Amino acid sequence: MSNIPAEVEVLRLSTEKIIELIRQTRNTLIEFYQEDEAIRAYFSEHYGLEKVSAIKNEFLKRDLKELWSAPVDLVHYAALIKEIKDSGNVAIINQVQHQQRFVQEISALFKKYTY
């Protein structure tokens, strides 16, 4: 999902740079889910819904756009920020447990439209 190579040197990054990296990674995922086919596939795979109304689809896209422009939830990403800060290794953002943080944030929006 991210474009950070695994062999990235260990760097000392400011907290602001780490937060920006997290925002960019989150927003890349959000951009992926702006496509109707990606939305349909997500609902099908996670909730067994083969069809979602056009209204729900548009409201979800609106929520995704709002999240895209929103600041990073520092509480949600605190462990990741700390781990990058402590290790200086930005490649850990690609680890499964950290990728799940990004998915959890997006999933909360999808869940709103499963009723």
Q: How confident is the model over 83-93, as pLDDT tens digits?
A: 999 988 888 99
Residues 107 and 42 sit within 8 Å (Cβ to Cβ)? no
* Torsion 74-78-84-90 (CA) sign: negative
Rounded to whole angstroms, how far apart are CA atoms 101 and 78? 10
User: Considering its fold, how many domains does the chain have in total?
Assistant: 1
In this prediction, residues 10-26 reach a mean pLDDT of 87
Q: Is 7 domain-assigned?
A: no
Residue 25 lies in a domain: yes
Residue at 6 is within a domain: no
Of the CA atoms within 13 Å of residue 54, those in its CB half-sphere come to 0
Q: Determine the Cα–Cα distance for residues 82 and 10; give it in Å rounded to an integer.
A: 14
Question: 0.75 cut: is pTM over it?
Answer: yes
Cα 108 to Cα 70: distance, rounded to the nearest angstrom? 15
Q: Give per-residue pLDDT as tens, 29-81.
A: 999 999 999 999 999 999 999 888 999 999 999 999 999 999 999 999 999 99
31 Cα distance to chain centroid: 9
51 part of a folded domain:
yes
pLDDT tens across 71-83, in order? 999 999 999 999 9
Domain extent at residue 75: 15-111
In the chain, the amino acid numbered 81 is I
